[in-house]
Chain A
Amino acid sequence: MLKLIPRPLRTLIVIALLAVVFILLADRVDEYRVYQGATIAAYVVAIISIVLLTGYSGQVSLGHGALMAVGGYSAALVVQNLHWPLWISFFVAVLGAAAVGAILGIAAARLSGPYLAGTTLAFAVGLPSIANRFTALGGEQGIGYDVGLPPARFGDSFTQYKWLFWICAAATLVAVGVAIHISRSRYGRIWRAVRADETAAALAGINVARSKVLVFTISAGFAGLAGALFSTTVFLVAPASFSLGLSFLILTGAVIGGVRSIYGAIIGAFVLIIIPIIAETLSSGASESVATNLPAVITGALLVLTVLLSPGGTAATFEHLTKAIRGKVRH
């Protein structure tokens, strides 16, 4: 019966239902989970940017943490200096990062594999020091990015973090919807064609270079939004928030979740938050150096296992399982 509803509408319904679930959830769990929920939302968008770039078009970026920084700073600057409303600052984050992404994408179109990875890596290493160059960017301390208090009509029990979660969850749901739409569009198909075989795609009349720049730009836009969302949870943007480690972390989340699946991004984001919790349970009572390094060890092990056992990530495994259960595995 579900099949009778057109696909875009179905996506919309699912997203609306998810929103209702989230609102109900935020009322039922304790405040710390609500805060973690906001962080997960930011990670989901960050990982989607990787899924679009790497999963759909086959380009590798180790510099998406820096694009997140561009988004975060753009958003914070317009709120801080021009006092623009928060939701507009999200658009500014998307546009700002997309603009930088477009420039990076032009370079990316000429590069591939390790060369592209190297270029984006250099970008991630170099960019944070710009913040230290100009006083308008606040140096190491960064600049404030205040989401403001929840509207008074929600009452006293409506905490700051719940407000934060609502904002992040709403932005993330919109982003997921847009990403799904893009991936199913003509562009999604073009990118997949380029990823599969550049020569064949070019022979089919696809402008390979242009499609690469486009996907880089769009992916950067998502990274920019993720950067803004990520910054709302800290109430400031600072270079230290966008370390090199962040670029690798979201890449890891994408691979574990499933680099070719938008839904995989959601799984990946959850995994990134859950690993430190598991690590802490495991290392309670262990020495300080074990406790400090365990999260990285678990993340690394999961990454290796994923690549070895299920290169498509958790999402692909799920897909295979459901198909197997229905007895419909076609390949």
Chain B
Amino acid sequence: MSRITRSPRLIAAVAAVAVAGLALATVPAQATLRNEVGVTSTSITFGITVPMSGIAAPGYNKLAPAAQGYLDYVNDNGGVNGRKVYLKVEDDRYAPATAVSKTNKLVLQDKVFGIAGALGTANHLAVLKSVNPGKRGVPDLFVNTGFSGFDDPKKYPTTFMILPSYVMEAKIMGKYLATKFPGKKIGLIYQDDDFGRNAKTGFAAAGTKFDVSKGYASGSQSAATFAGSQVKAMKDAGVDVVVMFGVTTATAAALGAARAIGYSGQWILGSVGGDATTLKALGVPAALLAGSIGASFVPSTSDDKDPYVVKFKEINDKYNKGKDKTFDNNVFTGMNLGYMLVAALRAAGPNPTRAGVVKALESKGASIAAPGLVPLGYSATSHAGYTGYWFGKYDTTGALIPDDGPGKYAVWVTDSGSGAVTASNFVRPAMPANAIPNN
């Protein structure tokens, strides 16, 4: 120790204080039990980053409280093999830099078991590069974006998708267009980034030819103001059916512009921009939305005969502590996330490990009895989530009603590659008692 006096004392002292301070400020050592990170004898903690404030918050800020509500419900019913499951929420404001720093906080400081339901393509691409959950062995479960690039077990070994990919959606939409609107003039408005390009890949695979195709630059400012020219181009070209593959703000702007310029073509809205409650929150009257075609892979939230809708509504009323808990697609998606987390943990056995959960999802994930109406695509070589869609029309209340009538879902399935689009004969497994996974 005496050697230290040879260097300037002041700086040595400052350094010592700084080291001590930082060391004290760090999280105390994990419980000495040889448990997995994020797991104690009584709890398992996941982390989620979602926009809870900022421009993208409306709608998306309902996901995490709904998922937490579902987990609280499971915890009140004994948890998962005796452990309570928690979800730590961080606000990423829908900005990549914030998503990275908040995910780092969850993984490195809070030491969560895994990341769950991360939202936004750009945000999560940044997280995968910087935080690199795959390299750290941190499960990155049920990413809430349809960018097909996240289904890449070699590059991202611990990342699992939940939404059908945009490629799948576009392929199925292409098939739907060919079946329902043969010979009609078809138009496309798409977001000019990975999201929109992913969709164009799908349309190309489906052999869909658009008579008019218009892109718009991604970014909220442009999305809110773009609509006029693209919609006018559809009107001028006499397009009968327009596919809108954009975010909700852009979709709202497009529908508004259509009314303003008196364009009366048939709209088909992609799943990303087609959430009725968010559209309503953005000022689109339900009457304007009515008659548009939409796509979904979960039961219609107005389907009061669907057991999951009934049970999730009940859980939502009792357990959701969010500010706005109006039951809609976002709430359903949040509950579905909670449900899938519980199912994944159960699949990994009584003492889940990070590696165990990844392995279990690969080997048993596809057979989970899940709330979606389409099959799950998990295997050792595929981390694709749900793999199909059904189509319907929005009614005057904003509810999406299947083409064949309420409760009659005609489901089509495909993959993100060159596989065909086929009518699905998938029969959803019966809901486990009380909507708690029993796998």
Give A contacts to B, CB under 8 Å: 14, 17, 21, 24-25, 28-33, 35, 39, 128-129, 131-133, 135, 138-142, 144, 146, 160, 230, 233-236, 238-241, 243, 288-289, 292-293
Contacts of B121 in A (CB 8 A): 141
Q: Which residues of B contact A35 (CB under 8 A)?
A: 101, 104, 108
Residues of B within 8 A of A (CB): 7-8, 11, 14-15, 18-19, 22-23, 25-27, 52-53, 65, 89, 91, 94-97, 100-101, 104-105, 108-109, 121-122, 125-126, 129-130, 132, 192-194, 217-219, 221-222, 322-323
B211 to chain A, nearest CB (A): 23
With both beta carbons as reference points, the residue of chain B lying nearest to A289 in the complex is identified as B323
Label chain B's interface by main secondary structure: helix
Q: Out of B52, B97, B109, B193, name the residue touching A241 (CB < 8 Å).
A: B97
**A33 in contact with B129 (CB, 8 Å):** no
Closest A-B pairs by Cβ, 10 of them:
A32-B108, A140-B218, A132-B217, A235-B129, A141-B122, A240-B95, A132-B219, A241-B97, A32-B109, A139-B193
Given contacts A17-B8, A21-B15, A25-B22, contact A292 B27 (CB under 8 A): no
Contact of A33 among B22, B96, B194 (CB under 8 A): B22
24 A-B pairs with CB atoms under 8 Å apart are A17-B8, A17-B11, A21-B15, A24-B19, A25-B18, A28-B19, A28-B22, A32-B104, A129-B219, A133-B217, A139-B192, A139-B218, A139-B219, A140-B193, A140-B217, A141-B125, A233-B101, A233-B130, A238-B96, A238-B126, A243-B95, A288-B65, A288-B322, A292-B91
Whether B323 and A288, one on each chain, are in contact in the complex, defined by CB atoms closer than 8 angstroms, is yes
Complexed CA–CA distance, A142 and B193 (Å):
10
Majority SS of interface residues in chain A? Answer: helix
Per the bound structure, the CA–CA distance linking A292 and B50 in Å amounts to: 12
Docked-complex contact A140 and B122, CB < 8 angstroms: yes
Contact partners of B11 in chain A: CB under 8 A? 14, 17, 21
In Å, the complex CA distance between A25 and B11 comes to 13
Which of A138, A141, A230, A239 is packed against the most chain B CB atoms within 10 Å?
A141
Report the bound CA distance from A129 to B221 in whole Å: 8
Residue picked from A39, A135, A233, A288, most chain B C-beta under 10 Å? A288
**Considering only CB atoms, which chain B residue lies closest to A140 in the complex?**
B218
Shortest C-beta distance, A329 to chain B (Å), equals 21
Number of CB contacts from chain A to chain B under 8 A: 117
In angstroms, Cα B372 to Cα A129, docked, is 38
A129 to B218, CA, bound (A): 9
State the CA gap A24–B23 with chains docked (Å).
12
Chain B hits for A17, CB < 8 A = 7-8, 11
A24, B15: Cβ atoms closer than 8 Å? yes
- Taking the closest CB of chain B, its distance from the CB of A223, in whole angstroms, is 16
> From A164, which residue of chain B is reached at the shortest CB distance?
B130
Contact B130 A234 (CB under 8 A): yes
Q: Check B122–A238 contact: CB distance below 8 A.
A: yes
Q: Given known contacts A144-B129, A235-B130, A288-B89, what 17 new A-B pairs fall within 8 Å (CB)?
A: A24-B15, A29-B19, A29-B23, A32-B104, A33-B25, A35-B101, A129-B219, A139-B218, A140-B122, A141-B122, A141-B218, A234-B126, A235-B100, A238-B96, A241-B95, A241-B96, A292-B53
